[in-house]
Amino acid sequence: MLHKLEKEQFDQIYKIMEISFPTDEHRPYEEQKALLSKKEYEIYIVRDEAENIGGFFAVWNLSEFLFVEHFALAPENRNKGIGTEMLTDLKALTRKRLCLEVELPEDELTRRRVAFYERNGFFLKDYPYMQPALSKGQEEVPLLIMTTEGKISKGDFEKIRNLLYEKVYQVPAFKSMSKEEKDSGCKLCPRECNVDRKSGKPGYCGVFGEGIQGARAALHMWEEPCISGEEGSGTVFFSGCPLRCVYCQNYDIAHGKRGTEITVERLAEIFLELKDKGANNINLVTPTHYSKEIREAVLIAKKKGLKLPIVYNCSGYEKVETLKMLEGIVDIYLTDFKYMDKQIARRYSNASDYPEVVKAALAEMVHQCGQAEFDERGMMTKGVIVRHLLLPGQLKNGKDIIKYVYETYGDKVFLSLMNQYTPLSHVKDYPEINRRVTEEEYDDLVDYAIEIGVENGFIQEGETAEESFIPDFDNEGWS
């Protein structure tokens, strides 16, 4: 049974708080204790068999919902079913919906935490959310919101966020920000995290800074034959990624753990240096969050003689508005199409909206680049290639993607079916994909594509998962 905390018991729950939460997710002692004087702020405790405080809720009783800011158990009381009993008791105390914040489900512990709340009637919201700094000197924290209400609109989510910002964190709600403040945040990708990365705060993509972060610019021989050719594709690897798949083959750079910062002018120079090395094209890998800077760099390079095709090598998780900005800049879209199933997209990329987003993005790509064109050497100079990396056990998802792309665009686009998936160490928490794709799975996918009439496409042969398609991110050609 839950009991309201007496002030003299605060020290006991603060010790549990310090053990249970990172320093950026709770306030310093005096600031946390001072909240007890606020009428909206309440702490409920539960006693263990020895009559010690075994766990607690710290909640904000707001007008629209009950916000659970902290929920923790003493270490000795975990995994005993006490947490579930506490949540049941809390729900019985109010008719309002419950709301709480959770860390991004990127490892076993955070995924287990999300699953626990889901078992207890909470629903995860995919809308990007930044927890403001709780105290001076602390950092913002990228989190997600869960509520005891099912699907909610983006407008409803923004109301929740705004109320938390105003009442709990005492920072301006987004709706009350000036136009200049709104415009300073990044909304280039579908996450629309609205973080001002130039201020030193990382966006959902994981990168920040005044310039452009990347870790390699070199000739790459392992793209589709009409992209790499014999000379190689001039690949430019950018740090960070708006999608951040759990199985990412370029994990370190995609999560912003590798790379150095350069200027737009230096990026334009890199394009020209790749041209001088004999590159068949300029291949922009994971470019979304730097699309504005890329556009500027391409225009600078073209004024200095760059005539190579520009390849936009992306995850498919793109905003149509951002793609429109690149019309006339990009010649070839080399895009992934990862998921047709929302649940798979959510599990592996925390993006249940991926199917609808990629369909709209692909339509814009085809609108811009249309029918494929090739030069006398067979190198693509304009067009769209749709890649699908087959995941272990996801044959149906792969077939659904092929069916959609072919029935929608026919042979206007090229399909590239890939079997090179490599289970790296960070997928150990996902046992169902912690293996390579079998030969039978891949052959079945290729046979299906042939059966329904696909003619324009690429397949991989041999033991490609044994080969290394992952380059060294050692700043070659970058700084």
Predicted confidence pLDDT, tens digits, the chain (479 residues): 899 999 999 999 999 999 998 887 889 999 999 999 999 999 999 988 778 899 999 999 999 999 999 999 999 988 889 999 999 999 999 999 999 999 888 778 888 899 999 999 999 988 888 888 887 777 777 889 999 988 788 889 989 999 999 999 987 665 444 444 445 689 999 999 888 888 888 888 999 998 999 999 999 998 999 999 999 999 999 999 999 999 998 877 887 567 899 999 999 999 999 999 999 999 999 999 999 999 999 999 999 999 999 999 999 999 999 999 999 999 999 999 999 999 999 999 989 999 999 999 999 999 999 899 999 999 999 999 999 999 999 999 999 999 999 999 999 999 999 999 999 888 888 999 999 999 999 999 999 999 999 999 999 986 654 444 566 777 889 87
Q: What is the pLDDT of residue 150?
A: 82
| 83, 75 Cβ separation under 8 angstroms | no
What span, in angstroms and rounded, lies between the C-alpha atoms of 458 and 380? 13
Q: Helix count (H) and strand count (E) of the chain?
A: 15, 18
Q: What is the pLDDT of residue 463?
A: 61
What span, in angstroms and rounded, lies between the C-alpha atoms of 456 and 475? 35
Residue with tokens 């990026």: 267
The identity of residue 92, as a single letter, is A
What span, in angstroms and rounded, lies between the C-alpha atoms of 28 and 30? 6
| 47, 3 Cβ separation under 8 angstroms | yes
DSSP 3-state of 299 = helix
What span, in angstroms and rounded, lies between the C-alpha atoms of 17 and 37? 19
| 193, 184 Cβ separation under 8 angstroms | no
Whole-number Cα distances in Å, 158 to 145, 153, 161, 165, 193? 11, 9, 5, 10, 12
Tokens of 293: 């800077």
Q: For the chain, which domains are there?
A: 3-176 (3.40.630.30), 199-466 (3.20.20.70)
Tokens of 276: 């001088």
User: Which residue in 461, 447, 463, 365 sits closest to 414, CA to CA?
Assistant: 365
What span, in angstroms and rounded, lies between the C-alpha atoms of 312 and 331? 8
DSSP 3-state of 139 = coil
What span, in angstroms and rounded, lies between the C-alpha atoms of 465 and 479? 31
Q: What is the pLDDT of residue 431?
A: 93
Q: What is the pLDDT of residue 173?
A: 61
Percentages of the chain per state (helix, strand, coil), in multiples of 5: 40, 20, 40
User: Which residue in 210, 268, 197 sits closest to 236, CA to CA?
Assistant: 268
- For 359, counting Cβ atoms within 10 Å of its Cβ (0-12 exposed, 13-18 middle, 19+ buried), the class is middle
Q: What is the pLDDT of residue 465?
A: 47
Q: What is the 3-state secondary structure (H, E, C) of 412-437?
A: HCEEEEECCCCCCHHHCCCHHHCCCC
Tokens of 439: 């030969």
Q: Beta strand 332-336 with 310-314: parallel, antiparallel or unpaired?
A: parallel
Q: What is the pTM of this model?
A: 0.73
Q: What is the pLDDT of residue 120?
A: 94
| 315, 242 Cβ separation under 8 angstroms | yes
Output the CA torsion sign for 324, 241, 297, 226: negative
Q: What is the pLDDT of residue 139?
A: 72
User: Which residue in 401, 391, 384, 387 sits closest to 349, CA to CA?
Assistant: 391
Q: What is the pLDDT of residue 461?
A: 81
